[in-house]
Amino acid sequence: MKRLTGFQPTGRLHLGNLLGAMLPMIAAQETNESLVFVADLHAMTMDHDPARLRELTLETATLLLAAGLDPSRTTLFAQSSVPAHYELHYLLECATGYGEAARMIQFKEKSARGGPVRLSLLTYPVLMAADILVHDSDEVPVGDDQNQHLELARTVAERFNKRYGPTFRVPVGVLPAGVARVMNLADPAAKMSKSAAGDVGRIGLLDPPAKVRKTIMRAVTDTLGEVRRDPVGQPGVTNLLTILEACGGSADFTSYGALKTAVADAVEEMLAPIRARHAELAKDPGHVRSVLDAGRERVLPTAEATVRRAKEAVGVY
């Protein structure tokens, strides 16, 4: 089974990315053929700074390696280095309705925030469909927020195959094995996010230990004084328990202070080796770039063959 996962360099990777996507992907390298890409083109759908995008793309790749991605088993590459992604994007745009794209919840939400809206924000799910289809992926781990986009990819692939003849493998969405949603520690109603303004309540994978501890010790809880799972009544405490379990700790506490201390210890134990390995890898950015280049070389033949099939099917040269 070929499994595809993307990470957008829209900001610095955080604990939510680690527990929700990176660790499950790393665990799955034992059994699946995994393709992992840094989705730098997707980071251009909103206002962006070129130097920061370049830096975050390399940092994202470095952190994936630091967390345990094994490039001899998992193919790691940068999305923009494989032109087949955007070649197929255009061909798929010609098989997608304007209404289908405009209906996407993420487009509606992000475009309603005010300010200029890039056309690429509207067509983002079509590029995501191209990302998936170009590599003949069988499985795509998707959380709730990406379900609608995966469904669009499946619809477009099926429509294309029906109209122009069998061309694409139609992938299925699989539930990621990790934590569904790590919430922001200062606002447990919001998910921990890379691109949210400021970094209050977010634990960056490269944050210094003192900052990580402080963020956890200041986590918003409630006044009930009971350590138990109740996502609706006690979202802050539930989030702390989720993090603790995902980091290998177990909970048997009566006070919020003791719970927070245990979470801070468990998170630090999880992050310390990643931080150390990242520091080593960051000394040699050329090595990380060579891993990305090797990944690109490995995926090119399949990706180019898919585009060739699609071009022949629609009748272009």
Using the contact rule CB under 6 A, the part of the chain among 117-125, 154-162, 174-182, 293-301 near ligand AQP is 174-182
Active-site residue (options: 2, 108, 191, 311): 191
> Between residues 195 and 290, which has the closer beta carbon with respect to ligand AQP?
195
| Per-residue buried b or exposed e for 184-215, using 16+ beta carbons within 10 Å of the residue's own CB | bbbebeebbbbebeebebbbbbbbeeeebbeb
CB of 113 to ligand AQP, least distance (A): 13
Neighbour tally for 55: CB within 10 Å: 13
> Between residues 75 and 167, which has the closer beta carbon with respect to ligand AQP?
75
Contact of 302 with 88, CB cutoff 8 Å: no
CB of 218 to ligand AQP, least distance (A): 18
Using the contact rule CB under 6 A, the part of the chain among 7-15, 66-74, 155-163, 306-314 near ligand AQP is 7-15
Q: Which token pair is 300?
A: 């090119």
Residues 18 and 182: their CA atoms lie apart, in Å, by 10
Question: What one-character DSSP code corresponds to residue 79?
Answer: G
Q: Is 108 a catalytic residue?
A: no
Count residues near ligand AQP (CB under 6 A). 17
CB of 165 to ligand AQP, least distance (A): 32
> Between residues 7 and 168, which has the closer beta carbon with respect to ligand AQP?
7
The alpha carbon of residue 289 and the mean position of all alpha carbons in its chain are separated, in whole angstroms, by 20
Q: Is 191 a catalytic residue?
A: yes
Using the contact rule CB under 6 A, the part of the chain among 125-133, 162-170, 187-195, 269-277 near ligand AQP is 187-195
Contact of 167 with 309, CB cutoff 8 Å: yes
Residues 182 and 241: their CA atoms lie apart, in Å, by 10
Tell which one of 68, 143, 235, 249 touches ligand AQP (CB under 6 A): 143
Q: Is 214 a catalytic residue?
A: no
Q: Give catalytic residues, as residue numbers.
A: 110, 191, 194
